[in-house]
């Protein structure tokens, strides 16, 4: 069953702008992960945030987690055309369940 | 390059054919997974293997048959598929455990005609 739901489904921005994607989930979690997928290719792990963490950074990525609201957000700052991809949140430990993803397009 | 290799990258097969998808990981991971990604649908977890033992079968039709001969190799045997089985099939591996990331292969794009 689908655990995570990303919002929005699609996002189009100009290069240099920030992109924010949200994820909501249904059950309690140990951690939440974010992945990126370029068109028709495999997924690449971006960041893992544990249930006792509220915020985590990795380069231009910032992830927040609010377990009381069962939600997470992924912020990409100063976006680049190369950030164009689909972004997925996933929960479930070693049996990851993914949401439907957000398709991000960054226009040069 | 993630260390997880899938072959073939593309496959076209008829509904009466038998084919196999192969996945190999060189990361020393203990867990391997098959996912299905159809257009406009979330990734669906199909099978999970931990230490070569199948620990999850997510109500997958029997026309999909997984095989894990060792912790580095995973196969998905296909027979008498339907056109709706056309999708991107992704293999992944991980160390196992609740706080580990998954490493994905590039996928096999399967078209059933």
- pLDDT tens digits for chain B (113 residues)? 679 999 999 999 999 999 999 999 999 999 999 999 998 788 999 999 988 788 777 789 999 999 999 989 999 999 999 999 999 999 999 998 778 899 999 999 999 99
Residue of B nearest to A39 (CA): B106
d(Cα B40, Cα B86) in Å, to the nearest integer?
A: 13
Could you read off the pLDDT of A24-57 as tens digits, one per residue?
999 889 999 999 999 888 999 999 999 999 999 9
Question: Distance (Å) from the C-alpha of residue B17 to the closest C-alpha of chain A?
Answer: 24
Asked if residues A81 and A106 have their Cβ atoms less than 8 Å apart, the reply is: yes
User: What residues contact residue A52 under an 8 Å CB cut-off, 6+ apart?
Assistant: none
Structure confidence at residue B1 (pLDDT)? 65
User: What residues contact residue A72 under an 8 Å CB cut-off, 6+ apart?
Assistant: A22, A23, A25, A32, A34, A49, A63, A64, A65, A66, A89
Is the per-residue pLDDT at A2 higher than 50?
A: no
What pLDDT band is residue A1 in, cutting at 50, 70 and 90? Answer: very low
Structure confidence at residue A3 (pLDDT)? 60
Structure confidence at residue B27 (pLDDT)? 95
CB contact under 8 A, B42 and A50: no
Give the residue numbers in B contacting A (CB under 8 Å), as ranges: 2, 4, 6, 31, 33, 41-43, 45, 48, 50, 56, 88, 90, 92, 94, 96-107, 109
């Amino acid at each position: 069953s689908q655990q995570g739901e990303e919002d929005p489904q699609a996002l189009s921005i100009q290069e240099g702008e920030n992109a924010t994607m949200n994820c909501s989930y249904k059950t309690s979690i140990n951690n939440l992960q974010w992945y990126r997928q370029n068109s028709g290719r495999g997924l690449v792990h971006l960041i893992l945030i544990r249930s006792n963490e509220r915020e985590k950074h990795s380069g231009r990525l910032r992830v927040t987690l609010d377990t009381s609201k069962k939600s997470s957000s992924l912020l990409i700052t100063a976006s680049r055309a190369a950030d164009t991809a689909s972004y997925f949140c996933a929960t479930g430990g070693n049996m990851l369940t993914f949401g439907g993803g957000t398709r991000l397009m960054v226009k040069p | 390059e993630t260390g997880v290799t899938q072959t073939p990258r593309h496959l076209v097969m008829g509904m009466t054919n038998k084919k196999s998808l192969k996945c190999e990981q060189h990361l020393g991971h203990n867990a391997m997974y098959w996912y299905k990604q159809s257009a406009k649908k979330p990734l669906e977890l199909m099978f999970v293997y931990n230490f070569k033992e199948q620990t999850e079968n997510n109500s997958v039709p029997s026309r999909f048959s997984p095989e894990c001969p060792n912790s580095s190799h995973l196969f998905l045997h296909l027979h008498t598929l339907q056109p709706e089985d056309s999708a991107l099939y992704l293999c992944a591996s991980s160390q196992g455990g609740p706080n580990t990331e998954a490493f994905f292969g590039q996928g096999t794009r399967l078209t059933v005609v």
